[in-house]
Amino acid sequence: MTHAVSVEQAPKFPLYHCQPIFFNQSKFREDLKKHPAIKVFKSAIAGIDSHFESRFHEGDDIHRLVQERATFVDLLLHYAWHQYAWDDDVALIAVGGYGRKELHPKSDIDILILLDDKAQKKYNDNLQLFVTFLWDIGLEIGSSVRTLKECIKIAKGDITVVTNLLEARRLAGNDKLRDKLQLLTGPEHMWPANKFFDAKVEEQEQRHLKYDNVEYNLEPNVKNAPGGLRDIQTINWVAKRYFNVPDITRLAGADFFTEEEYGALRSGEAFLWKVRYGIHLIANRAEERLTFEYQRELAKLFGYKDDDKGLAVEKFMHEYYRVVLALRELNDVLVNYLDEVIHTKRRKHKITPINDRFQLHDNLIEVTRESVFDESPCALMEIFVIMGNNPSIAGVRSPTIRLIREKRWLVNAKFRRDPHIRAMFIELFQLKVGLVAQLERMRRYGILGRYLPVFGNIIGQMQHDLFHRYTVDAHTLMVIKNVRKFRHEEAKQKFPIAHHIMKRRQHLHLLYIAALFHDIGKGRGGDHSTLGARDAETFCEDHQLRGKDTRLVVWLVEKHLLMSYVSQKKDISDPEVIRDFALEVGDQRHLDYLYALTVADMCGTSPDIWNTWRASLMRQLYMETKRALRRGLENHIDKQEHIEETQQLAAARLADKGICEQIARKLWDQMGDEYFIRESHTDIAWQTEAMIQHQGESPLILIRETTNLEFEGATQIFIRTRDERHVFPAVASVLTSLQLNIQDARLYSTNDGYTVDTFYVLNDNDQPLGDNSSKYLKISRAIGEELLLLGDYNEVVRRRTPRVLKQFSVPTRTSISNDIVSGNTVLEVISPDRPGLLATIGQVFMEHDVQLQNAKISTLGERVEDVFFITDADNQPLGDPRLCRALQDDICFRLDKRVEQDLAS
């Protein structure tokens, strides 16, 4: 039988020779004599939490804080354990991170209660009381109760268990039990060093895959993402098991790491610990994600300031990304080193000479001697060219990686001016395979940023918004990767035009160079396209590119946003827009390269940007511009000729349906010219047939998957109803309530008192709705019911602003100008996306007696950049400056006020 004992009579905490200065054991024991144990324990926890939080805010050493918090919990568990009587056949053991004496504010406190095999059920009552007491005092305990035999059995089949036991630390009870457990779960009995290593590396690779093998997620996981704390722990675990040491500090001078590497490991760990500690305090829970909310608060807490060079949060995250990149690089070196020392001793090695400087060690490249880079600094570039030209080379041996890191200071101004080195760098861009892999290696080993200092400036640079999902350097390499993928057959279906271009065009290295420089000017203030074009021009001239090729690269960098802008913000059904764009492009070569770069850029910005609708817009702009270039820019299409040709083609289709041209033209006479310029003849015929057959005054609503190849990526909703000023906000509200996203809106007023509108929509997954008659009927009914309320319409769909958008409460921006050619006023609204945004804007138009003629809706991630073509009540451009100002102010106020209300709630 076991029995309870008086906790105040428990032995003093024996694990330290001196009293921890942050906790008074004597007072704690005295309090236990006077007050209930739960109250005293909880009071101690609250006081120490406050103590550690104050020290954190004062900037105390993070290693000391994390370890002293573990020491404090050791004290609590020691006294809690001694509330109960135990014999010499049980031990209380700390495992996992707590076993390493690492404890963050809200981390789980993992303990193992280890029993001798004969004591399996002996302490059931006491154990239940003990664990319940720990929960009652507020400790986040992760506990397991196992016999020695059970632990050994589970550890044999579970790498996670044996890893946790690797760091087991006795807190109370029989220490011999812990020693026996560690002996029997050691590499002599299970999971020998080579198998343990393979399992942990596989575990790391799978973990990295969950984060797309990218260090630069927008809301990174401090613990598990590549370059995170788990990567440091993986190195520790494998090294401890192989070298049989309690921690890797014992390996100093053992050739495992250099003094510089150990310093980088410790400083990187300290930075991430500080971030994680802060997240736990702010979140008040065990949170590992560095969310936008925490990024802002930590940037402020750590003393970063907004200035003309960037936001405080961007500076903080810039440092964060540089730290995790450095840690991942170090992880590469040390994991490769361990791989070699653990595995290569078991087999014979094959050495294959490459040249005087390099050789293959099995399938890894290495230097032939340690003085290679000192003797020939150009070898720091040559090694990547060799690997690029020999795809069978699996990588770089760890001693050579270490040597590259030690000698990268040799990449200086003299190195950058060397014609031979410049030629080798250009050779990389002409590789058939492996360009991105080599650029990635160059970046990770610190060579790329030194060879191109302008690229070094953007490493780890983030943009604090929801549109750019990656840092500038990660995005840049992703764009190059996307362009390279267009060559592959599997890209033919999703990117047919880009695939055709890449198969047909020569000198593709120029496109890759343009991709490298397209965003390189970011973060310096000013127009990044202009700054990048200057850098590209200098680079091309320094690297001896021909004048014609240099001009193409510079033009691509300067104009890399042009095609996406025109496709998403201009009316690309207007021949004048196509002509203006064709004049900018000039020839087919420039159009092809620009199209491929633009698509790669959009796909590399965010996984959500490229969808069927944007694909259709880009395809339409490309094909119409290609026709204009073939026709010759001097052969401009006459507007009336275009209208007449469209009407003739539509009339021919209607004739096949038994509708005579005279009846159709009588209806068309009520339509304005814009309808026949912007709509295809197939849609005109479809809509005309329905309008002729429609009876009564009820709204005509048609829905189908668009058959127009130019817009095949969306569902088309056509509405004809009596001309009411509220149609747009009403329809926008209905579509929002049905979780449909408007991509494009075309609105026409007819001479006989009707409005004829077409909306192109996608679902919440950015896909067309598909041929779904029941869904079409639901949409049609909802729109019809809403249109009946137009006379007294004032409803806007109310949905709460999502969490992530609340962290980007950037004020709405508007601009307004008059388009003389179209006779419209152009209003652009740039804002974080909000539920009911279009309906809100539509209501503002209604209240200011403004007529909406056309809308280009562009949602980029969680940011909208919408363009509205508007007129006054008399269908004239807005000529009153006061009206323009009031319109803009009202839109900004309405949209931003909604987010402020959500933030306050």
**pLDDT band with cut points at 50, 70 and 90 for residue 541:** very high
Q: What is the pLDDT of residue 852?
A: 83
Q: Are residues 157 and 269 in the same domain?
A: no
Q: Whole domain around residue 837: which residue ranges?
A: 688-904
Beta bridge partners of 90: 115
Looking at residues 26-35, what average pLDDT do you find?
89
833 has a pLDDT exceeding 90:
no
Spell 632-669 as b/e; 16+ CB within 10 A means b: eeeeeeeeeeebeebbeebbebbeeeebeeeebeeebe
The DSSP letter of residue 725 is: T
Q: Are residues 305 and 418 in the same domain?
A: no
**Around Cβ 777, how many Cβ atoms within 10 Å?**
11
Q: What is the pLDDT of residue 799?
A: 42
Residue where one domain finishes, among candidates 289, 315, 346: 346
**pLDDT band with cut points at 50, 70 and 90 for residue 214:** confident
Q: Are residues 601 and 575 in the same domain?
A: yes
Q: What is the pLDDT of residue 16?
A: 42
Predicted confidence (pLDDT) per residue in 573-630, tens digit: 888 889 999 999 999 999 999 999 999 999 988 767 788 888 888 999 999 999 889 8
Q: What percent of the chain has pLDDT over 90?
A: 54
Predicted confidence (pLDDT) per residue in 607-620, tens digit: 677 888 888 889 99
* Spatial separation of the C-alpha atoms in residues 632 and 586, rounded to whole Å: 10
Q: Which residue has the higher pLDDT, 695 or 352?
A: 352
Mean pLDDT over each residue of the chain, to the nearest integer: 87
Q: Are residues 181 and 111 in the same domain?
A: yes
18 has a pLDDT exceeding 60:
no
**Around Cβ 497, how many Cβ atoms within 10 Å?**
18
Q: Are residues 597 and 575 in the same domain?
A: yes
Q: What is the pLDDT of residue 383?
A: 97
**pLDDT band with cut points at 50, 70 and 90 for residue 254:** low
371 has a pLDDT exceeding 70:
yes
352 has a pLDDT exceeding 70:
yes
Q: What is the pLDDT of residue 803?
A: 45
In a domain, 371, yes or no: yes
Q: Are residues 799 and 842 in the same domain?
A: yes
Q: Which residue has the higher pLDDT, 570 or 135?
A: 135
The DSSP letter of residue 490 is: G
* Spatial separation of the C-alpha atoms in residues 883 and 226, rounded to whole Å: 53
In a domain, 653, yes or no: yes
506 has a pLDDT exceeding 70:
yes
Domain total in the chain = 6
Q: Tell me the CATH number at 817.
A: 3.30.70.260
DSSP letters, 384-403, are HHHHHH-TT--EE-HHHHHH
Q: Are residues 652 and 693 in the same domain?
A: no
* Spatial separation of the C-alpha atoms in residues 329 and 322, rounded to whole Å: 11
In a domain, 678, yes or no: yes
The DSSP letter of residue 250 is: G
Q: Are residues 354 and 420 in the same domain?
A: yes
Give CA separation, 396 vs 60, 62, 383, in Å: 40, 35, 9
| Alpha helix stretches (DSSP H) within 606-660 | 612-631, 639-656
Residue where one domain finishes, among candidates 621, 636, 651: 636
Q: What is the pLDDT of residue 19?
A: 54
Predicted confidence (pLDDT) per residue in 401-458, tens digit: 999 999 999 999 999 999 999 999 999 999 999 999 999 999 989 999 999 999 999 9
Q: Are residues 778 and 697 in the same domain?
A: yes
**pLDDT band with cut points at 50, 70 and 90 for residue 206:** very high
* Spatial separation of the C-alpha atoms in residues 267 and 253, rounded to whole Å: 19
Spell 841-868 as b/e; 16+ CB within 10 A means b: bbbbbbebebbbbbbbbbbbbbbbbbbb
Q: What is the pLDDT of residue 417?
A: 97
**pLDDT band with cut points at 50, 70 and 90 for residue 23:** confident
Q: Which of 462-476, 658-672, 846-860 shows the lowest per-residue confidence on average (mean pLDDT)?
A: 462-476
Q: Are residues 225 and 184 in the same domain?
A: no
Residue where one domain finishes, among candidates 310, 331, 346: 346
Torsion angle (degrees, nearest 10) of CA 17, 277, 303, 268: 80
Q: Which of 482-496, 569-583, 745-759, 786-800 shows the lowest per-residue confidence on average (mean pLDDT)?
A: 786-800
In a domain, 440, yes or no: no
CA angle 280, 281, 283 (to 5 degrees): 65
In a domain, 442, yes or no: no
In a domain, 447, yes or no: no
Q: Are residues 885 and 793 in the same domain?
A: yes
**pLDDT band with cut points at 50, 70 and 90 for residue 367:** very high
Q: Are 70 and 102 in contact (CB under 8 A)?
A: yes
**pTM, two decimal places:** 0.80
Q: What is the pLDDT of residue 791?
A: 57
Q: Are 840 and 805 in contact (CB under 8 A)?
A: no
Q: What is the pLDDT of residue 788?
A: 80
Q: Are residues 769 and 649 in the same domain?
A: no
Q: Tell me the CATH number at 205.
A: 1.20.120.330
Looking at residues 237-247, what average pLDDT do you find?
86
Please provide residue 757's backbone torsions phi and psi, each rounded to the nearest 5 degrees: -125, 145
Q: How large is the angle between the packed helices 472-485 and 435-444, nearest 10 degrees?
A: 160
In a domain, 90, yes or no: yes
DSSP letters, 497-529, are HHHHHHHH-S-THHHHHHHHHTTTTTTSSS-HH
Q: Are 250 and 258 in contact (CB under 8 A)?
A: no
In a domain, 145, yes or no: yes
Q: Tell me the CATH number at 84.
A: 3.30.460.10
Residues in the chain: 905
Q: Which residue has the higher pLDDT, 806 or 566?
A: 566
Give CA separation, 120 vs 5, 171, 405, 834, in Å: 22, 20, 54, 59
Q: What is the pLDDT of residue 17?
A: 40
68 has a pLDDT exceeding 50:
yes
Spell 233-243 as b/e; 16+ CB within 10 A means b: bbbbbbbbbbe
